[in-house]
Amino acid sequence: MPKIQKIEHAERIAAGEVVERPTSVVKELLENSIDAGSKNITISLKQGGKESIQVIDDGCGIPADEVALAFQKHFSSKIRSADDLEHLTTLGFRGEALGSIATVARVLIITKVRDSETGYKIAIEGGQIYSEGQTGAPDGTNITVKNLFFNIPARRKFLKTDSVELAHCTDIVVRYALAYPSVRIKYTHNDQAILHTPGTNSLVDTVGTCYDSQTARQVFPFEYANSGLSIKIQGILGAPTIARPSRQAASLFVNQRYVQVKKIAEAVESAYHSLVMVNRFPFYVLFLEVPPDAIDVNIHPRKQVIRIAHEEEITESLRGAIRDALTQHTFIPGKEVRAVEVPLQVPGMPLLRLETTSPTSSLRSIDGRSPDAISAICPPQIDKSSTQTTLNLSARKDGKMSTVHLSQTIDQMPEGWFQVGKLPKWRPINAQNQVHDTYVLFEGEDGLYIVDQHAIAERARYEALQAELATHNKISSQQLLIPIKIDLSPAESDFLQKNILALKRYGVTLDFFGGTTFLLRRLPVIFGNLEQVSFIKDTIRSLVDLGMQTPLDEARDAVLKKLACHGSIRAGEPLKKAQILKLVKDVAACELPFNCCHGRPSIIILSFEELEKRFKRIV
């Protein structure tokens, strides 16, 4: 390990390190242990860290003649001058933390380097060394911080309860446990174990320890690189089903340093758009690797707020990469996350490949390879701008290739097993196949699948409207035989007169009739039932209210969600087999069929194992 010495030009990086609460101490000591190359770290707190904080590691230790220097301001072994920040590879660098801690607490440090026969200890109180000398010790460092703020009563009285301070300390321990899964961390409070990570270098194992096994089963690996930006991002993403009520479970590490970058957090949340409900936030653990000279970590005393070069480009590319990754996995509550294979199947045909009759079909010859060869490498894509979807059956009973249009496949619900799009392989339960006029039931190979008919129809409508608007810049509409008269308030009427053309783009055509009355003449095609006049009026009023809050051009996504929601099958609506079949086929074209456009799950599974537990067949 490099010698501890005075940092040149330290005034350029000085931050006036202030110990605010016990978590400040835990963070600095934990970072020192990691920088020392420790493989095993034990953290012990008493009374939320207010009485004592002890950190023991098996790192490189500190030579006896350098221990006192470690507590002097701007002495460090990690950099030699402020210029070294451009190639910083350690967590600490200012040389302020230990001195600041020793100034406001009673500190005892016992440390030993591997090639030394004895260790060395120093006791400090209020910044003054009162005892030091050789002592027996194992390799590594053992540092104890007691009676935090004993000499600053004004600051000590502002500390929160033990449980609150403990929660803050636990949060930082969990962050670094995730950042360094190869390090075994044992964490206790008042001699009670809180956390003990396995140190197996498995991020998923560490997630299971830091959170719970259910969370660990609902994550999947993510990796993305961009040579143009000189970045690499890897880690794990959580299924929408484990979204949290706060951002507390979202972890971002830049060069293995836990940081908070608002724009990157917003990009990740944007990638989960329409997959999680309002006021819910995705779970993720992401590691961004950038060149050391592309970040500035010296803009905040806690070093958790940083600046990154090309931040806008990084966030945009990350958003797209995460969205693509989400479309390649299935997310059904009660079922482990898995990568999507995209077979389209009908009874008796175990494997189908999807193509479209559109001339822009995604299964074109690439590098001289045939579409058959390409489809074996990557999942086929659905061209939603095409009105015809064709299934090429690669498995057949008569030895011949057969081609059918999905819209013309069958006009009755199959009785046997079938699979379409990203949906599970399943078969109808019974003749009715619907309960409570709201849920459609299917038997799967692993359990009972329950489909929310409104949620899944809403997702199909939403993605179809998105595709149509992107392709044609408008939504197709249908003429009403008898216009519907709609009376509005003066404010609503004024808004509508100014935005009639904007609404027309969304398939809604109205004419001013006089006063505050309008005639509705056209509606989007997705509104199949035009007899529900009151429902249609409510839809228009809802769109007007939305537009009065946000300009319609800016609220495009919200408008599409409104149309998809109001134009879909409703809960409580009885469905015939043909309607259920059409619904399933519509959903086959969805990229993300497992949630409605507001983030609610559209499919859940009650596994056979769970059923057997409920009936006490297994315990």
CATH number of the domain at 166, please: 3.30.565.10
Which residue, among 112, 32, 29, has the nearest Cα to 64 in the 3D structure? 112
Same domain for 224 and 147: no
The secondary structure of residue 349, as a DSSP letter, is B
Tell me, what amino acid is at 215?
T
CATH number of the domain at 518, please: 3.30.1370.100
Q: Which helix (H) or strand (E) holds 265?
A: helix 262-271
Q: Which tokens belong to 164?
A: 């609150």
Q: Which tokens belong to 78?
A: 């990690």
Which residue, among 59, 158, 153, has the nearest Cα to 114 in the 3D structure? 59
Same domain for 420 and 348: yes
Same domain for 127 and 240: no
Coil, helix or strand for 538?
helix
Tell me, what amino acid is at 52?
S
Predicted local distance difference test score (pLDDT) of residue 71:
85
Kindly tell me if the per-residue pLDDT of 522 is higher than 60: yes
d(CA 13, CA 617): 66
| H helix intervals, 55-181 | 97-103, 153-156, 162-179
Coil, helix or strand for 242?
helix
Kindly tell me if the per-residue pLDDT of 443 is higher than 50: yes
Q: Which residues pair with 340 in a beta bridge?
A: none
Tell me, what amino acid is at 72?
Q
Question: How buried is 382 (Cβ within 10 angstroms: 0-12 exposed, 13-18 middle, 19+ buried)?
Answer: buried
Same domain for 345 and 317: no
- Going by pLDDT thresholds of 50, 70 and 90, the confidence category of residue 552 is confident
Predicted local distance difference test score (pLDDT) of residue 15:
39
The secondary structure of residue 237, as a DSSP letter, is E
Asked if residue 471 is part of any domain, the answer here is: no
**pTM for the model:** 0.78
Same domain for 176 and 81: yes
Same domain for 387 and 309: no
**By mean pLDDT, which of 134-148, 381-395, 469-483 is the weakest?**
381-395
Do the beta carbons of residue 579 and residue 585 sit within 8 Å? no
Find the mean pLDDT for residues 446-463: 94
Tell me, what amino acid is at 492?
E
Q: Which residue has the higher pLDDT, 70 or 282?
A: 282
CATH number of the domain at 383, please: 3.30.1540.20
CATH number of the domain at 281, please: 3.30.230.10
Q: Which domain holds residue 130?
A: 5-196
Q: Which residue's structure tokens are 């030394």?
A: 116
Kindly tell me if the per-residue pLDDT of 358 is higher than 60: no
Q: Which residue's structure tokens are 């836990």?
A: 258
Which residue, among 431, 401, 426, has the nearest Cα to 416 in the 3D structure? 426
Mean pLDDT of the chain: 80
d(CA 336, CA 345): 22
Kindly tell me if the per-residue pLDDT of 565 is higher than 70: yes
Q: Which residue's structure tokens are 């560490």?
A: 206
d(CA 465, CA 472): 10
Same domain for 344 and 323: no
**By mean pLDDT, which of 141-150, 159-168, 326-335 is the weakest?**
326-335
Asked if residue 464 is part of any domain, the answer here is: no
Predicted local distance difference test score (pLDDT) of residue 75:
60
Question: How buried is 530 (Cβ within 10 angstroms: 0-12 exposed, 13-18 middle, 19+ buried)?
Answer: middle
Predicted local distance difference test score (pLDDT) of residue 434:
87
Predicted local distance difference test score (pLDDT) of residue 420:
80
Q: How many CA atoms lie within 13 A of 249 on its CB side?
A: 23
Tell how many helices (H) and how many strands (E) occur in the chain. 15, 30
The secondary structure of residue 366, as a DSSP letter, is B
Kindly tell me if the per-residue pLDDT of 390 is higher than 90: no
d(CA 307, CA 95): 21
pLDDT per position as a tens digit, 20-48: 899 989 998 998 899 889 999 999 999 99
Asked if residue 416 is part of any domain, the answer here is: yes
Kindly tell me if the per-residue pLDDT of 85 is higher than 50: no
Same domain for 125 and 60: yes
Question: How buried is 271 (Cβ within 10 angstroms: 0-12 exposed, 13-18 middle, 19+ buried)?
Answer: buried
DSSP 183-197: SEEEEEETTEEEEE-
Q: Which tokens belong to 486?
A: 């709609």
Find the mean pLDDT for residues 527-551: 76
Question: How buried is 343 (Cβ within 10 angstroms: 0-12 exposed, 13-18 middle, 19+ buried)?
Answer: buried
Same domain for 51 and 163: yes
Rounded to 5 degrees, φ, ψ at 67 are -60, -45
The number of folded domains in the chain is: 4
pLDDT per position as a tens digit, 168-185: 999 999 999 999 999 999
Predicted local distance difference test score (pLDDT) of residue 593:
93
Predicted local distance difference test score (pLDDT) of residue 594:
93
pLDDT per position as a tens digit, 248-304: 999 999 888 898 889 999 999 999 999 999 899 999 999 999 888 887 765 655 556
d(CA 557, CA 597): 10
Last residue of a domain, one of 147, 167, 196: 196
d(CA 320, CA 118): 56
- For strand 284-289 and strand 250-254, is the pairing parallel, antiparallel, or unpaired? parallel
Asked if residue 202 is part of any domain, the answer here is: no
Asked if residue 60 is part of any domain, the answer here is: yes
Asked if residue 468 is part of any domain, the answer here is: no
Same domain for 220 and 345: no
Predicted local distance difference test score (pLDDT) of residue 451:
95
Last residue of a domain, one of 171, 196, 221: 196
Q: Which residue's structure tokens are 């143009």?
A: 228
Q: Which residue has the higher pLDDT, 580 or 99?
A: 580
Same domain for 426 and 312: no
Asked if residue 470 is part of any domain, the answer here is: no
Q: Specify the length of the chain in residues.
A: 619
Kindly tell me if the per-residue pLDDT of 383 is higher than 60: no
Kindly tell me if the per-residue pLDDT of 59 is higher than 70: yes
DSSP 76-90: ESS-SBGGGGGG--S
Predicted local distance difference test score (pLDDT) of residue 25:
93
Q: Which residues pair with 220 in a beta bridge?
A: 237
* Distance between start and end Cα atoms, the chain: 55
Which residues 6+ apart lie within 8 Å of 379 measured at CB? 328, 340, 341, 342
Same domain for 354 and 322: no
Question: How buried is 398 (Cβ within 10 angstroms: 0-12 exposed, 13-18 middle, 19+ buried)?
Answer: exposed
pLDDT per position as a tens digit, 102-152: 888 999 999 999 989 999 999 999 889 999 999 999 999 999 999 999 998
Tell me, what amino acid is at 526?
I
Do the beta carbons of residue 257 and residue 611 sit within 8 Å? no
Kindly tell me if the per-residue pLDDT of 54 is higher than 90: yes
Predicted local distance difference test score (pLDDT) of residue 44:
97
Find the mean pLDDT for residues 507-519: 90
Asked if residue 47 is part of any domain, the answer here is: yes
- Going by pLDDT thresholds of 50, 70 and 90, the confidence category of residue 359 is very low
Coil, helix or strand for 145?
strand
Q: Which residue has the higher pLDDT, 166 or 301?
A: 166
